[in-house]
Amino acid sequence: MPGFLVKQSNGPSESPTTLRNEAAFYLFCHEHLTGASVLNILPRFVRFDEDRSVLVLELLSEAMPLWQHYLAQTDIPRRPTVDLGRALGSWHAAFRLRSPLSDNSLKWLPTHLPQILRIHRPSIDWLADISAGGYEILRILQSRRRLMRQLDKLSSAWTPNTIIHGDIRADNILVIPSQPESVQLRLVDWELVQYGDPAWDLAGAFQDLLLFWISTIPDLPETSNSDLELRTAQAHYPLAVIQAALRAVWHGYRETADLRSASMHFVLSRAIQFSSIRLIQAALEATQGGGPLPSKAVLLLQIASNILDDPATAQVRLFGIPQSVAA
């Protein structure tokens, strides 16, 4: 008997807006995309009780998050990384230029910049909830004028032209074993779905692989730019393994995104740069437990800063994607 996943907002302290957006998204797909191949990457919609703010989806009982699938293997398998790129490319192509401004059935869809893009110039509300480690990260960001200018430019680079997931990370990518050597992917938790820049989703996939790699580096009391290469060399996976996975995501995306070479180049360039913001976001999340700034958070900030200093070099030396295959 099939099971069901029930999602509900947790009382007045948690706004039900994102859950309603997710429900509106599933309902839109259910009503307007019947039979479309892109639906294969979603769990099946069952119903939404608006009065109670309860969303019911199919339960993917045999699925596991992508990061658990990685850990269950002796190496990072190519197939799910290629499939993730293909899934994102297919999704973005299917919804390109279908915006809330031109489609009344999408009027509910948010269009704003992700808040994290302005993390270096935070709102008062955000400051009220920040941890001591978060304040230290903010101090580091704001003490570097060049970095502040680079972060400002990222907001102006935002190019919305399709519906995006908004929170691509391994926890939201489920792997369902289908045959001994193959898997199926499902993208879940569409609470941050919006009309936005496809490079943001691609950046999420890139950042997640980098974060998985960094998570295997042993902790040290402190770090500095001088020992960055030494620290990363201690990771469980060699950088070459992560780079192969990053290339696989990009190759899969190129296969299905249906973009011209010039557009593909700019999507990749933005994704590389947006991944730096996602790494800063991961650094902030690492401080939520309180206490001093973790060494991993410092390492994430260093890598993010290096990416923004020279995105073209980072594309080749960190991401392992040659300029010749960028477009």
Residue 92 lies in a domain: yes
Segment 72-76 mean pLDDT = 82
pLDDT at residue 244 greater than cutoff 70: yes
CA distance 119 to 114: 10
Residue 104 lies in a domain: yes
Mean pLDDT of the chain: 88
Least confident of 45-54, 197-206, 216-225: 216-225
Where residue 13 falls among pLDDT bands split at 50, 70, 90?
Answer: very low
Where residue 223 falls among pLDDT bands split at 50, 70, 90?
Answer: very low
Both 111 and 23 in one domain: the answer is: no
Residue 326 lies in a domain: no
Both 76 and 40 in one domain: the answer is: no
Collect all residues with Cβ–Cβ distance below 8 Å to 47 and sequence separation of at least 6.
56
Residue 323 lies in a domain: no
Strands (E), the chain: 4-8, 45-49, 54-58, 64-65, 162-164, 173-179, 182-187, 194-196
Both 147 and 28 in one domain: the answer is: no
Q: In what order do the strands lie in the sheet with 173-179?
A: 64-65, 173-179, 182-187
Both 50 and 121 in one domain: the answer is: no
Both 65 and 156 in one domain: the answer is: yes
Where residue 326 falls among pLDDT bands split at 50, 70, 90?
Answer: low
pLDDT of residue 162: 95
Both 224 and 87 in one domain: the answer is: yes
Residue 279 sits in which domain range? 61-318
- Most confident range, picked from 76-85, 228-237, 248-257: 248-257
pLDDT of residue 221: 57
166-187 tens-digit pLDDT:
999 999 999 987 755 566 899 9
The CA-atom distances, in angstroms, between 164 and each of 4, 92, 100, 244, 285 are 25, 7, 13, 25, 22
- Provide the CATH number for the domain around residue 174: 3.90.1200.10
Nearest residue to 304 (alpha-carbon basis) of 286, 325, 323, 327: 286
127-151 tens-digit pLDDT:
888 888 999 999 999 999 999 999 9
Where residue 255 falls among pLDDT bands split at 50, 70, 90?
Answer: very high
Both 109 and 3 in one domain: the answer is: no
pLDDT at residue 220 greater than cutoff 70: no
Residue 252 lies in a domain: yes
Collect all residues with Cβ–Cβ distance below 8 Å to 137 and sequence separation of at least 6.
280, 283, 284, 287, 293, 297, 301
Both 227 and 214 in one domain: the answer is: yes
pLDDT at residue 159 greater than cutoff 80: yes
- Provide the CATH number for the domain around residue 53: 3.30.200.20
269-291 tens-digit pLDDT:
999 999 999 999 999 999 987 77
CB distance 280 to 137 below 8 Å:
yes
Strands (E), 140-226: 162-164, 173-179, 182-187, 194-196
Where residue 215 falls among pLDDT bands split at 50, 70, 90?
Answer: confident
pLDDT at residue 241 greater than cutoff 60: yes
CB distance 298 to 305 below 8 Å:
no
Both 174 and 42 in one domain: the answer is: no
Both 49 and 74 in one domain: the answer is: no
pLDDT of residue 218: 80
Residue 325 lies in a domain: no
- Which of 17, 35, 59 terminates a domain? The answer is 59
- Which of 59, 75, 90 terminates a domain? The answer is 59
pLDDT of residue 51: 87
Domain count, the chain: 2
Segment 94-101 mean pLDDT = 87
pLDDT at residue 118 greater than cutoff 70: yes
- For residue 166, the Cα-to-chain-centroid distance in whole angstroms is 7
CB distance 189 to 153 below 8 Å:
no
- The amino acid occupying position 55 is L
pLDDT at residue 304 greater than cutoff 80: yes
For a pLDDT cut of 90, what percent of the chain falls above it? 62
- Which of 38, 59, 80 terminates a domain? The answer is 59
The CA-atom distances, in angstroms, between 236 and each of 67, 227, 241, 244 are 14, 17, 10, 15
Both 51 and 76 in one domain: the answer is: no
Other C-beta atoms closer than 10 Å to the C-beta of 99 total: 16
Residue 115 lies in a domain: yes
Nearest residue to 24 (alpha-carbon basis) of 34, 16, 36: 16
pLDDT at residue 217 greater than cutoff 80: yes
Both 77 and 115 in one domain: the answer is: yes
For the chain, first and last CA: distance in Å?
Answer: 47
Residue 178 lies in a domain: yes
